[in-house]
Amino acid sequence: MDGWVKQKLEKLVPEEIFNEVVVTATKRNFVSSQLPSIIEEDKYACFEEAEFGRQTLAGTNPVRNRRLLSSPQNEEFSPLSGTNQLPEDVLNAIKKAMLEERAFILDHYDYLLPFLNMINGKGVCAYATRTILVADSTLGTLEPLAIELRLPDPKSNMVFSPRDEYEWMLAYFHVAANDAAYHQLVSHWLHTHAVIEPFIIATRRQLSVMHPIHRLLDPHFKDTLHINALARGIFLNAGGILETTLFTEKEPQKINEDEYPVERDESQAEIDENVVELDENPATHKTPDKKERLLILEDYPYAKDGTEIWDAIEKWVREYCKIFYASDDDVMQDKEIQEWWSEIRN
């Protein structure tokens, strides 16, 4: 552990926690740690298309894939071009997969493009990326067929397929760098840690400790604000861990600020599946009677586990709330809940 990190932790973390957890962690021998099974079996497995596709569903950031559909209104596929062109058979394979609803896109473009000039102006060579992945006929596994590297100047765009060999590998690395940064800054920090803070503050300010919703939520808020404060002091601060390890360097906070303000209309304001990231990606679709979710992709551990956990939590919370609220009118008449929700939204 670097000296400055240790000094900061000693100031921020209670002494007993520092001694028991942090000091113990610094004594671990990471060299002797067990290798991931995929690398233990084949250290070059990460370069295989099948493993690349699997990692987008079973890796650290399994929530960015979106289904790529073929339609006249579709604007996602047509920009996939650059100074070079994809081979005709690769283009045809992608178009066929789109028509059969087997095509997916891993998009690290819109949110990143505005920052590339600032990032690359500091000696970094970063690209925004779009990756087209195609599932096999059984919808069991994904494999990438095309990767687009983009800069703000359209003349610098490049697109590659597996036939490009070394350029294809370099494109892999850019996608992995984008995915790692998005995972740390948005999926992990912003959508997990930061977004919950307004709920914690509003719960403590607007709901009495005996209110049933306060009793429901409070155990899940334990230590969150403290952990977030530590993160801001060590990971997200100027010169901190994220600035020194991610290609975004000094832009993490700006990317977070750009990604945070999500506008929702009144129909989306309800707490339902529309605001759940799991249901916004192509993990599942519901049967016509809406009683059961069906997996779109078979080899998708996040979806398999996530939907079961989500359904169990939803059922338990719904039954709990029914004890105290028999109808929507009961919720509307609860002044504490109304003030709570108003503070969260505003």
pTM reported for the whole predicted model: 0.76
Residue 178 has pLDDT above 60, yes or no: yes
Mean predicted lDDT score pLDDT of the chain: 78
State pLDDT tens for residues 203-257: 999 999 999 999 999 999 988 998 888 888 888 777 777 777 777 766 666 676 6
User: Burial code of 134-172, b = ≥16 C-beta within 10 A, e = fewer?
Assistant: bbeeebebbbbbbbbbbbeeeeebbbbbbebeebbeebb
Instruction: Phi first, then psi: give them for residue 159, nearest 5 degrees.
Output: -135, 135
pLDDT tier, 322 (very low <50, low <70, confident <90, very high otherwise): very high
Residue 25 has pLDDT above 80, yes or no: no
Which region among 14-23, 99-108, 211-220, 331-340 has the lowest average model confidence (pLDDT)?
14-23
State pLDDT tens for residues 81-133: 556 678 888 888 888 888 888 888 898 888 888 888 887 887 788 888 999 99
- Are the beta carbons of 135 and 57 closer than 8 angstroms? no
Most confident of 5-14, 41-50, 149-158, 265-274: 149-158
259 contacts: CB under 8 Å, gap ≥ 6 = 111, 185, 186, 190
Residue 197 has pLDDT above 50, yes or no: yes
- Between CA 64 and CA 307 the distance in angstroms is 16
State pLDDT tens for residues 278-299: 444 445 555 555 556 677 787 8
